[in-house]
Amino acid sequence: MTEAKGAVLFDVDGTLVDSTYHHAVAWHRAFTRIIEAPPMWRLHRSIGMGGDRLVGEVAGEETETQYGDDLRAAWREEYTQLRKEVQPLRGAADLVRAVRSQGLRVALASSGDPQFSQEAVDLLGIGDDIELLLTSDDVDSSKPAPDLIQETLSRLDGVDAAVFVGDTVYDVEAAARAGLGCLTLRSGGFSTAELLDAGARRVDDLPADLIDLDWSNELTRWA
């Protein structure tokens, strides 16, 4: 059988599982343990970029230099206490299977922690439906850098057209810099206007809203 040449890449947090606000709370608690915490809204607005970037984004590079590793360790501990509350977003698993049923390959590209990303896959029950799961540990720089998407594409041998599905402006930017279009969901807390202004091709509320798409019309040739 000839291997499919088209692929759909998905973000995980805020796109397939409803974890965005859990991450914001975990970061707030982590900061509180070490230094004065930024406002919660600012933390929320940075969820979607990797932890390697988030501290400097919300608190400045001096804080990153002095406390970055400690804050990331504290965030991990705090999120571990919250992760059992995380639930799939409506239609997430069905969406992944619908993409597969159209003869396309599926991979996940998450700026998150490898353990937590794998736990999301297990929660969704899609381990047999995805080809790859790449996380922040697989690249030097997380979203909005294009590295994670580019690395995922490079490991999908034979793929010459793809699209990315995410929930933040960082997903849209990373996809564009990797040469792909991006479909977005509002489940990460960004508004329709913000996502469209960033360059998203379309904005929907939840994964369930994308199940009936003809995905062949959404792919961008990149190789």
Mean pLDDT value across the chain: 95
Asked whether the predicted pLDDT for residue 2 surpasses 70, the reply is: no
Q: Which of 53, 85, 117 is the last residue of a domain?
A: 85
Residue 145 belongs to domain with CATH number = 3.40.50.1000
Number of domains forming the structure of the chain: 2
Q: Which of 85, 106, 129 is the last residue of a domain?
A: 85
DSSP states along 68-92? HHHHHHHHHHHHHHHGGG--BPTTH
Pair (133, 111) in one structural domain: yes
Please tell me the predicted confidence (pLDDT) of residue 4. 64
Pair (116, 179) in one structural domain: yes
Pair (91, 162) in one structural domain: yes
Mean pLDDT computed over 37-41? 96
Q: Degrees (nearest 5) of the Cα angle 105, 111, 132?
A: 25
Mean pLDDT computed over 86-109? 97
Confidence of residue 1 (pLDDT cuts 50, 70, 90): very low
Pair (71, 173) in one structural domain: no
Give the count of beta carbons closer than 10 Å to the beta carbon of residue 4: 17
Pair (65, 93) in one structural domain: no
Q: Residue 13's domain spans which residues?
A: 6-18+87-221
Residue 38 belongs to domain with CATH number = 1.10.150
Q: Which residue has the higher pLDDT, 117 or 4?
A: 117
Pair (207, 108) in one structural domain: yes
Q: Which of 67, 85, 103 is the last residue of a domain?
A: 85
What pTM, to 2 d.p., does this model score? 0.94
What are the pLDDT digits (tens) for 114-161?
A: 999 999 999 999 999 999 999 989 998 889 999 999 999 999 999 999
| Nearest one of 100, 94, 66, 85 to 26, comparing CA atoms | 85
Evaluate whether 185 touches 15 at the Cβ level (below 8 Å).
yes
Mean pLDDT computed over 170-177? 97
Distance CA 219, CA 223 (A): 12
Pair (43, 147) in one structural domain: no
Q: Is residue 1 part of a domain?
A: no
Mean pLDDT computed over 34-39? 96
What are the pLDDT digits (tens) for 182-220?
A: 999 999 999 999 999 999 999 999 999 999 999 999 999
